[in-house]
Amino acid sequence: MDWDAEAEEGSAKKKQSSDTQYVSPMFIMALAMAKMTKEYADTMIAEKKQKKADYLASRDAKLQSLGLENCDEYFIQKIAEVRQIAGSIEQQVVEEAQEMRKLIPEASVADISVAASEYASVLKYQKLQQR
């Protein structure tokens, strides 16, 4: 029973540590210095929290500009890769459609654009399956 009482008393002392002076064999911290260090630590913690909030705000703005929310950096990089692949595939499909149009002069432009978009979607799917 005495052990429990001592443990409770020790935890109560820890809670009231703001009035404690820090003493070591070579250094005695005055209350004014303890107050200054606490204020400095508080400002550093506040700056760190502000930097984190600024980073999160800029990240969320980037995600919203991409039309996404609640994603981390890995998914943002993957989305950029997919968009790059999709852009190159679209360019390739347009070039192939123009070549097909030259080979088949009687085909209409609408038919070629439909075929090109279908071909592009197939290529995108195949590229994503390879990754």
**What are the phi and psi torsion angles at 7 (to 5°)?**
-65, -40
Rounded Cα gap, residues 124 and 118, in angstroms: 10
SS (H, E, C) 47-63: HHHHHHHHHHHHHHHHH
Could you tell me if 97 and 116 are in contact, meaning their C-beta atoms sit under 8 angstroms apart? yes
What per-residue confidence (pLDDT) applies to 49? 95
| Domain boundary assignment for the chain | 18-68, 72-131
Per-position pLDDT tens, the chain of length 131? 455 555 556 555 555 555 566 667 777 778 888 899 999 999 999 999 999 999 989 988 887 887 776 667 777 788 888 889 988 888 888 888 888 777 776 655 555 566 666 666 766 666 666 65
pTM: 0.36
